[in-house]
Structure 1
């Protein structure tokens, strides 16, 4: 199965995506991750204003199959959270790169972030 992997995003080994196209970095889970999880039924997000260090577990996604921690790939302060996914967790399944984003954080894209080509290779193995 081929997963959607937009070329303009950065990716992590733990299947988060990073969009650096705005004032803050927007973070979400990839199409591959949501497919592995199955139907998402619950989402817990970090608090706005919370300080996070890269690698911190900061959110939880619960599906019919599993409960998974989401790790921030960036050190910084959470500037926004997507309340839409709290009310409609299925947005992570239907629109992981759009309405299904999780939170925004001020910070820099990490040096070890993957480009779309490298992430594609990782998920096809």
Structure 2
């Protein structure tokens, strides 16, 4: 397993994408630390629901976005590790997709946080 990870990480694009992902996670953590005390008890999270109390979530539910980011990126990265030796393009696309998704979830997170604080 370690050899497969090292093989994947030898690819320069994968290393850049991993650095971008770590940067996105640093943004998540920094914003949470700086803004946590300013969060109201209920946060508008569920915009797909009609305007009502159903759109509101607790402070802890905002942590769903960073956790979802980690889960999706880790899942895509693990699949990429296993298929890299046979399907390099597919493995790279998985890591690219995970990075793009993490970036988009970070933008969503930032929009919500700066809307409420």
TM-score (normalised: structure 1) = 0.26
More strand by share: 1
TM-score (normalised: structure 2) = 0.27
- Which has the larger Rg? 2
